Amino acid sequence: MKVSYKTSGSCASRIDIEIEDGVIVSTHFVDGCAGNTQAVAALVRGMAVTEAIERLKGIACQGDTSCPDQLARALEQAQCSTIPS
Burial 8-20 (b: 16+ CB within 10 A, else e): eebbbeebebebe
Tens digits of residue pLDDT in 12-67: 999 999 999 999 999 999 999 999 999 999 999 999 999 999 999 999 998 999 99
Find the CATH number of the domain harbouring 8: 3.90.1010.10
Total structural domains in the chain?
1
pLDDT band, residue 83 (cuts 50/70/90): low
Of residues 71 and 79, the one with the higher pLDDT is 71
- Average pLDDT over every residue of 6-11: 95
What is the domain range of residue 12? 2-82
What is the residue type of 37? T
Task: Give the pLDDT confidence score for residue 62 in this predicted structure.
Answer: 82
